[in-house]
Amino acid sequence: MTTFDDPFDARYRLTPGCSCGRHGSEAEHAAASAVSGDAQTSRVVESAVMRALFPEDATRRAFLTAVGAGTAIAAVNALFPLATATDVFAQGLKPEKTDLKVGFIPITCATPIIMAAPMGFYEKQGLKVEVVKTAGWAVIRDKAINKEYDAAHMLSPMPLAISMGVGSNPIPWSAPAIENINGQAITLAMKHKDKRDPKSWAGMKFAVPFDYSMHNYLLRYYLAEAGLDPDKDVQIRAVPPPEMVANLRADNIDGFLAPDPVNQRAVYDGVGFIHLLSKEMWDGHPCCVFSASRQFVTEMPGTYQALLKAIIEATAYAQKAEHRKEIAAAIAPTNYLNQPVTVVEQVLTGTFADGLGGVKKDADRIAFDPFPWESFAVWILTQMKRWGQIKGDVDYQKVAKEVFLATDATKLMAEAGLTPPQATTKTFSVMGKPFDPSKPEEYVASFAIKRG
Amino acid sequence: MRGSLSLRAGLLSVLIFAAFIGAWQFATMPTTGAAGDVDPEYAALVSGAAAQGAKSAFPTPADVGATIWGHLKDPFYVRGANDQGVGVQLAYSLGRVLLGYLLAAAVATPLGFLIGMSPLVYRALDPFIQVLKPISPLAWMPLALYTIKDSGISAIFVIFICSLWPMLINTAFGVASVRKEWLNVAATLEVGALRKAFLVILPAAAPTIMTGMRISIGIAWLVIVAAEMLVGGTGIGYFVWNEWNNLSIGNIITAILLIGLVGMALDVALGRAARLVAYRE
């Protein structure tokens, strides 16, 4: 069952796998049975609603066969105004505003946001977007909140933190697309090249880009797994990514868990070596998101959709390995990342110098997948809870659903020729420890080293 | 004799400069170490120094000279919002500084005048001024961003708030310390309050006021670089930050030199203006 099939048809399955069995893959099936135009839009919305009502596919099919599709539509309509929801996503929404400003931090996580400007993805949606380089995460947050930016590149925990009012006033924020998955690394200063065991890292000073960042949570997780208390045994401080290499060079810090190209730049300048790719801790973890205020999403649905579509198409383009070199050349100049092309290219292609004299190859060092899994948000919230950034009871699922806008991504991913996943949550494991998004409290409680 | 003194001073300046460049050149001389057994595939992926197991080196004077020349050749290019020539960046910074500074002057001079005229107000406001004066511009920045909600205006506000105090204090001090005899003469001649202010006090206090203005412009120029490094976008401070990202020391040195030159020009201009209002007793 793809997002374009009729969810009121009992013959289809809503969960992954080709629905009719006649096609090799779901994508082929979609190509064969594609519905176009208006129907497409309403199908997507209806699917999302049905998925929410019937998480178990068997229940939905039982329901449909028992009452018939017509009754089902009427029944669901009574519960949820399908027509209204479909209208919101209806085609032909003209952007209310075409001149936009989108803020970014000069790191490769922002690749889709940045490349969409020089490579014409914004233009294709009829938008004139100025991508503005910004000095740090606190500044990008303040500028986005102050509406100087229409949308912005943020770390995935930031929209959650802003929505909950952690570290700022509570303002409903949204993350309709993940920028990149993987693509971070732990880099250590050259003098530590024999201290590869994290158990021997007590007393060291580390930098992460921001308090509310995957980097902070992953580094803390990594240290805690090695038996170190990240608040007592080491020092972790927030340093904007661009300043990290300068600080590592000056011996202000011993290492960092940072976004690229910072890690590769440290290697390029002979200052540090790549100890561990974040991929090796959790393959497929999210890092940065494309984000906008809830107000922007609701007041300018046309602009929002066009912008999100451009981002998702850019993300789809960036995911293809054969495009990576071209993208590296497009985003390396002074106007964007301001880095030597070879550094950006090593990050994106995954053939890179490790800083210790070796050349490593890992095509998935950084990958691009826009789908904002709600379970990602839940995991992030568990870590915020674990380290005392949020206190008291948290409605994990609710916050995740309100901030990570999976429905929008589903629809636009399909239009961009990607295959959106059928569910909005998934399980995964971090450093071998499985995470069940339906049991966040138990997960937090299961850690030996935590706050509060 | 004076001519020969300035000649000798000039000669000494040149010598100091040459010694500095010489020392710099010596310190950054490329060490032709044994490259030897480096994997060429690895060497192609890192900088020259890193391939030999060293940190990338500080640029030589010649490298920096070439960088400076590159910037001076084409100072006004605009290649997108985040990449503009140093001339354009300096113009942005100067515009911000002048705006904030003129606003501060427009507030500080009349206010300082009033404070200086009244010993009571002078004493009453003194503690506030003393506390607010030494606050770093960067400490104001988060507060400004939070309340003003616009990074451009915040930068100007920070210039304003930092260049306000020297002008205010100097104006008040200059006005308060006008010689009693002159005020007494004015009183004897039954000069009106307004006439007294403009014809007696203002000329008498003008040199002190100008000193305050000169201090302020120096502070404003110091502040703008820090403020722009923080908010980014445009300006010479942003340029420094952007090149810091790229660890491009040559570009940073270029910016440092330009910042110094512009700061000197501003100071000289205010110095000239101060000479215009000076008087001899």
Q: Is residue B34 classed as helix, strand or coil in its secondary structure?
A: coil
- Give the pLDDT mean for A55-82: 64
- Statement to judge: residues A15 and A147 lie in one domain: no
On whether the CB atoms of residues B201 and B251 are closer than 8 A, the answer is no
Number of domains in chain B: 1
**Cα B268 from Cα B208, distance rounded (Å):** 17
Q: Which of A108, A113, A122, A148 to mutate to test the interface with B (most CBs of B within 10 A)?
A: A148
The CA–CA distances, whole Å, from A258 to A78, A224, B93, B194 equal 49, 18, 31, 64
How far apart, in whole angstroms, are the C-alpha atoms of residue B229 and residue B89?
A: 12
Asked if A117 and A171 sit in the same domain, the reply is: yes
Report the residue from B54, B79, B230 with minimal CB separation from A139.
B230
Interface contact A336-B82, CB threshold 8 A: yes
pLDDT number for residue A374: 84
Which pLDDT score is estimated for A241? 79
Look at residue B132 and tell me if it is in a domain: yes
Which residue, of A91, A120, A139, is where some domain finishes? A91
3-state secondary structure of B95: helix
> Residue A293 forms beta bridges with which residues?
A173
Domain-embedded: residue B61: no
Contact B42 A334 (CB under 8 A): no
Would residue B34 count as lying in a domain? no
- Per the structure, the complete domain to which residue A14 belongs is given by 1-91
A104 and A80 in a common domain: no
Return the sign of the alpha-carbon dihedral for residues A331, A336, A341, A342.
Answer: negative
Q: Which of A174-188, A254-268, B70-84, B166-180 has the lowest mean pLDDT?
A: B70-84
| Residue B75 lies inside a defined structural domain of this protein | no
Longest Cα–Cα distance of chain A, Å, equals 71
Handedness of CA B256, B260, B261, B263 (dihedral sign): positive
Q: Which residue has the higher pLDDT, A81 or B110?
A: B110
A335 and A394 together in one domain? yes
Establish if A452 touches chain B: CB-CB under 8 angstroms: no
Give dist(CA B209, CA B172) in Å, integer: 8
From B38, B142, B231, residue closest to A135, measured CB to CB: B231
Is the CB of A20 inside 8 Å of chain B's CB atoms? no
The domain in which residue B142 lies consists of: 86-277
- Cβ distance of A133 and B38 shorter than 8 Å: no
Residue A149 belongs to some domain of the structure: yes
Structure-model confidence comparison of residues B32 and A317, the more confident one: A317
* Chain A residues lying within 8 Å of B142, measured CB to CB: 138
Report if residue A305 sits inside a domain: yes
Compute and round to an integer the Cα radius of gyration of chain A: 22
A168 in the same domain as A128: yes
Give A222's pLDDT tier (boundaries 50, 70, 90). Answer: very high
Give the CATH number of the domain where residue A378 resides. Answer: 3.40.190.10
Q: Does residue A53 belong to any structural domain of this protein? A: yes
Q: Which residues of chain B have pLDDT under 70?
A: 1-3, 30-38, 53, 232, 281
ipTM entry? 0.74
Whole-angstrom Cα distance, residue B222 to residue B159? 9
Q: Which of A119, A260, A338 to mutate to test the interface with B (most CBs of B within 10 A)?
A: A338
Residue after which a domain boundary falls, among A23, A58, A91? A91
B229 touches chain A (CB under 8 A): yes
Same domain, residue pair A81 and A113: no
Across the range A420-430, mean pLDDT stands at 81
* Cβ pairs bridging A and B (under 8 Å): 113
Pick B49's closest partner by Cβ from A148, A270, A333: A270
Domain identity same for A81 and A153: no
Is A234 inside a domain boundary? no
Which tokens hold the place of A222? 């990594």
CATH code at position B100: 1.10.3720.10
Cβ pair A135:B230 closer than 8 A: yes
pLDDT digits (tens, 9 = 90+) for A366-408: 888 888 888 888 898 898 888 888 888 888 888 888 888 887 7
**Predicted confidence (pLDDT) per residue in A293-308, tens digit:** 888 888 888 888 888 8
Give the one of A130, A270, A334 whose C-beta lies nearest to B50's C-beta: A270
Answer whether residue A255 is part of any domain.
no
Q: What is the CA radius of gyration of chain B?
A: 25
How confident is the model at residue A49, as a pLDDT? 64
Residues of chain A contacting B150 with CB distance shorter than 8 Å: 146, 148
Query: Region A213-224: what's the mean pLDDT?
Result: 91
Residue B32 lies inside a defined structural domain of this protein: no
How much is the mean pLDDT over chain A? 80
Residue B9 lies in a domain: no
Average pLDDT (A319-326) is 87
Question: Which range among A5-14, A124-133, B264-273 has the greatest average pLDDT?
Answer: B264-273
Cross-strand bridge partners of residue B112 = none
Cβ–Cβ contact B99 with A under 8 A = no
Residues A87 and A114 in one domain: no
Q: Which residues of A touch B38 (CB under 8 A)?
A: 357
**pLDDT band per the 50, 70, 90 thresholds, residue A77:** low
Q: Per-residue pLDDT for A144 more than 80? A: yes
Predicted local confidence at residue A34, as pLDDT? 46
**Percent of chain A, pLDDT > 70?**
79
B40/A contact by beta carbon, under 8 A? no
A193 close to B (CB below 8 A)? no
* Residues in chain A closer than 8 A to B88 (CB atoms): none
Of A91, A118, A136, the last residue of a domain is A91
Mean pLDDT of A26-38: 50
Residues of B in contact with A171 (CB under 8 A): none
Q: Could you tell me which chain B residue has the CA closest to the CA of A341?
A: B45
Assess if residue A3 is contained within a domain: yes
How far apart (Å, rounded) are the C-alpha atoms in residues A435 and B42? 38
Half-sphere exposure for B223 (CA within 13 Å, toward CB): 30
Q: Is residue B146 less than 8 Å (CB to CB) from chain A?
A: yes
| CA distance linking residue A399 with residue A406, whole number of Å | 13
Touching check for A357 and chain B: CB below 8 Å?
A: yes
Query: Do A169 and A315 fall into the same domain?
Result: yes
Would B68 be classed as within a structural domain? no
Which of A269, A333, A334 shows the shortest C-beta gap to B55? Answer: A269
* Amino acid sitting at position A4: F
Question: How many whole angstroms separate alpha carbon B200 and alpha carbon A306?
Answer: 67
Number of domain units in chain A: 2
Lowest mean pLDDT among A80-84, A189-193, A374-378, B235-239: A80-84
